[in-house]
Amino acid sequence: MDQFFTFCTQGSQQHNIWLYELEHSSSIIYLNYIHPSDNLAQLKHTLDYASSLSQHKSTAHTTKSVLSSDENLHRIISRLSNEIQMLKQQKGRESTSTYSEGPRNISMFSSVSNSTSATILTDEKFDHDIHDLHRQIEELENQVTVTRERNTLVEQELVDISNNNQRLCKINDTQAQLLDGLEQKITETENLVQILSRQLVAERSLYAEHYAPDKRELEDCLKVIQQLVSKQEEQHSHAIEELIIIQKWLASKNDALIEEDVFDTYLDHIPEEQDWKQAFQQLQQKTLVLERKLVETEADLDVCRQAIRNNDNSGLVGKLENDIARLETVQDSTAVNQHIEHLESVVQNLNQQLLDATHRSMEKDRQIASLQQQQQQYDTKHKSNELTVSRHRRTLSNQTTRSNNPQAEQAQLMRWIYENIDDPTGRSEVIQKFSQMSDDNAQLSMWIHDLEAQLFSERQRMAQENKSLECEVMNLALQLEKEPVKRRSRSSTQSKLERSSVLSAAEQRSRSPISSFPPPPTEPPSEPLPPVPAPSSSKKQSRVSDIVSQLESSQSKVQAQQQELTAHHGELDALKKQLENISLELENERKLKQKAEKAHQILERRIEDLMTNKKNKFRCF
């Protein structure tokens, strides 16, 4: 022990070297031997040095094994308490031995007075050492409490780690369930996509079957319209070329006329001057006639005034009779002239009506030709529709022959569905069967709709034909009634013309002024009156009405087909949007799945690190 103390109390260099070796050493074996004869000061010093070494090694992570276990600390405390008791017992023995000797050693008391002072000092040191030991014991107990608290914290961390592991297991289970659900959804979406693709293929085939003839007819109509447009464009181009040629000719003609303009104007003014001269002469003659009339009227007035003054009534009456006879002759000549003018106006009106009637007949002939073409097209279309109807009837007859016992087939179908609904392959077959049945129902509904439309159009056509026949019968009856009346109407028209001429003559007599110079008589018309055109036949009108109704029905059918096409296009767009949404959802689910897998991998790595590395035992998760 003395050697160990002396070795420890050597120079600072050796002490530092030993501390360096202790820091870098993996383990420490501390041996201590206590004897009752040892000095307390040296024992205290050795214990302090050992405690300092242990504290130094604990700071350098060398005494973790000692501090981590409660049993070792309890052992150390028990050993130290035993040593203290042993020291107390030795001290008691020494004191009893000194007091038991009594007067026998009084003689020696004076000799050992110096030694008593030394023993008192040793007692004080012993008490001080005991206090130090108690302090060390308290420190060790504090360390024990600290280790207990640390152990409780470690236990709590272990509980948290176990809870986290349980949570991670639950998360893994939920992720597995989500992945299973996502896989089911993916399979369902794939099946839906397949079913939708099949439905699209079926609808396209139905569209190609049903609307191919209509499309061909429309293409033929477009070709005909394009041909007509091309012909009209050619005609327009020819007309434009002719107009250009005429413009050039007119330009050249204007150039030639400009040169001859002076002479032409002179020649044009000659007949105008002659006309002016004739008009001037006529005016002069009229003025002379009017002057004569004024002179005659003044003379007559003078004569009448003198007769009135002389009361000569017989002369006045004779003069008035002569005037009346002269006026009657003038009125007869004016009435004849007016009757002739009226006949000329009637002839002009009849000629104008003839021209209008000819133009109308030409337009009607054109309309009839166009309607005949449209009727031919409608006949071809009607034949094609009849063929389609016959095909539909055949298919319906085949289906009716197949479905003679619908209740038995329905029961058999339900039995087959209940048998195959649990099997995944049978489930796909059931879905295919349902899709096929829905397609068949849609096709049958379309056929029924087409047949109803055709029946409605045929009923309208029959009603229009009946109406046209009734109109023809009415027109024939009217024509038969009008034939005996025509002769009477001709005689009545002549008498009406004569009466109207007489009445107009009387009115003009009452309104026309007195004139002694009647106008020259005109020549009667040399050409006879043209015949009145016959009215258009009722058959043509009925035919035109039939063709117009057929055109309207065909236009309504075309509009309905266009509406169906737009509806189909809208359904296709909606299906495309649904497919896009489903693809986006699948992509989002795949991304979530990838993220979940990454999180699962990270958690597994962390768990492995916690389970394998003991250094990370106290790390918070």
DSSP string across 145-171: HHHHHHHHHHHHHHHHHHHHHHHHHHH
User: Do residues 73 and 162 touch, judged by C-beta distance below 8 A?
Assistant: no
Residue 550: burial class (beta carbons within 10 Å; 0-12, 13-18, 19+): buried
Is pLDDT of 287 > 70?
yes
Is pLDDT of 507 > 50?
no
pLDDT in tens, 326-372: 766 766 666 666 766 766 676 676 667 667 766 766 776 676 676 66
Range of lowest pLDDT (146-150, 358-362, 438-442, 530-534): 530-534
- Output the CA angle 429-434-440, nearest 5 degrees: 125
The top-scoring range by mean pLDDT among 194-198, 254-258, 412-416 is: 194-198
Could you give the dihedral angle defined by the CA atoms of residues 268, 273, 274 and 279, in that order, rounded to the nearest 10 degrees? 130
Phi, psi of 204 (to 5 degrees): -65, -40
How does the average pLDDT of the chain come out, rounded? 66
Average pLDDT score over residue span 245-256: 74
Specify the pLDDT at position 541: 62
Half-sphere exposure of 547 (CA within 13 A, CB side): 17
Residue 377: burial class (beta carbons within 10 Å; 0-12, 13-18, 19+): middle
Q: Is 59 helix (H, G, I), strand (E, B) or coil?
A: helix
Is pLDDT of 143 > 70?
yes
Specify the pLDDT at position 574: 76
Range of lowest pLDDT (311-320, 416-425, 483-492): 483-492
**CB atoms closer than 10 angstroms to residue 102:** 8
Average pLDDT score over residue span 305-313: 68
**pLDDT greater at residue 333 or residue 460:** 460
**pLDDT greater at residue 512 or residue 143:** 143
Residue type, 325: A
Specify the pLDDT at position 315: 65
Average pLDDT score over residue span 500-508: 45
Is pLDDT of 24 > 50?
yes
Specify the pLDDT at position 406: 52
Those residues with Cβ within 8 angstroms of residue 143's Cβ, 6 or more apart along the chain or in another chain: 67, 73
pLDDT in tens, 26-45: 555 556 655 566 666 666 66
Average pLDDT score over residue span 519-530: 44
Half-sphere exposure of 458 (CA within 13 A, CB side): 10
Average pLDDT score over residue span 482-496: 50
| pLDDT confidence band for 605 (50 / 70 / 90) | confident
Those residues with Cβ within 8 angstroms of residue 347's Cβ, 6 or more apart along the chain or in another chain: 525, 529
| pLDDT confidence band for 208 (50 / 70 / 90) | confident
Q: Where are the domains of the chain?
A: 2-173, 353-536
Neighbour-count burial for 551-575, b at 16+ CB within 10 Å, e otherwise: eebbeebeeeeeeeeeeeeeeeeee
Is pLDDT of 480 > 50?
yes
Specify the pLDDT at position 346: 66
User: Do residues 347 and 529 touch, judged by C-beta distance below 8 A?
Assistant: yes
| pLDDT confidence band for 115 (50 / 70 / 90) | very low
Specify the pLDDT at position 533: 43
User: Do residues 1 and 42 touch, judged by C-beta distance below 8 A?
Assistant: yes
DSSP structural state of residue 537: P
**What angle in degrees, to the nearest 10, is found between the helix axes of 113-259 and 538-612?**
160
**pLDDT greater at residue 152 or residue 302:** 152
Average pLDDT score over residue span 116-135: 71
DSSP per residue, 478-528: HHHHHHHHHHHHHHHHHHHHHHHHHHHHHHHHHHSPP-SSPPPPPPPP-SP
The secondary structure of 85-148, three-state, reads HHHHHHHHHHHHHHHHCHHHHHHHHCCCHHHHHHHHHHHHHHHHHHHHHHHHHHHHHHHHHHHH
The secondary structure of 289-320, three-state, reads HHHHHHHHHHHHHHHHHHHHHHCCHHHHHHHH
Phi, psi of 454 (to 5 degrees): -65, -40
